[in-house]
Amino acid sequence: MKVRLLHTGDVPPGHVRSAFSGLAPPLVPGEAMPFRASLSATYDRTRAQYDAFSVLEAVPSPEAGWLNLLLVGVDLFVPALTYVFGLSHVGGRRGVLSLSRLKPPEESAVSEELLLRRLAIEVAHELGHAAGLVHCAVGECAMHRSLWPESIDLKNPAYCLSCRALIASE
């Protein structure tokens, strides 16, 4: 499946390139495009965050053989959780991913490296959901559930053999 990365203006171009270069097989890079639609209607002033469900609805449905993933810099939430890293409907072929909570608290070359690794893992995770995968019991698999940023660090930016076989069959 080919991947289209849409991105808002607050996502650095280097992070878009990094997300593409770290795609987990069998996914292949397609194209990167700026996302021009406004997300202002998805902002919840009470929470000072963006509603992930509403943002996801703004992501266009891709044509056959493609997955669309929107990269944003804003903080996302769903009503039942304080925050989410991203959101995709299982098998819906589109998703949204925020860099906001992936950033380590300190600013350094090491923290940028960690951010890019987390980005690769979570790109694989959200695209996996978009392609039809559910959470995986294998702790190192990109499809394993992550509830806090440090738990992302325990995963690999690739699918386990079982998830890879499932996504390749789509």
pLDDT above 80: residue 152: yes
With cut-offs at 50, 70 and 90, classify the pLDDT of residue 168. confident
**Containing structural domain, residue 131:** 2-168
The structure's pTM equals 0.94
pLDDT band at 112 (very low <50, low <70, confident <90, very high): confident
pLDDT tens digits, one per residue of 67-109: 999 999 999 999 999 999 999 999 999 999 999 999 887 765 6
The stretch 132-144 carries a mean pLDDT of 97
Burial code of 129-160, b = ≥16 C-beta within 10 A, e = fewer? Answer: bbbbbeebeeeebbbbebeebeebeebbbbbb
pLDDT tens per residue, range 24-66: 889 999 999 999 999 999 999 999 999 999 999 999 999 999 9
Number of neighbouring beta carbons within 10 Å of residue 58: 16
pLDDT at 107: 67
User: Total domain count for the chain?
Assistant: 1
Q: Which residues pair with 14 in a beta bridge?
A: none
| Torsion angles phi and psi, residue 25, rounded to 5 | -60, 145
Helix (H) or strand (E) holding 81: strand 81-84
Contact indicator for 96, 70 with CB cutoff of 8 Å: yes
How far is 159 from 140, CA to CA, in rounded Å? 8
Residue 109: what pLDDT? 60
Per-residue confidence (pLDDT) for residue 125, from 0 to 100: 97
Predicted local confidence at residue 30, as pLDDT: 94
- For residue 110, what pLDDT band results from cuts at 50, 70 and 90? low
Give the pLDDT of residue 169.
81
CATH number of the structural domain spanning residue 94: 3.40.390.10
What is the pLDDT at residue 77?
97
- pLDDT number for residue 159: 97
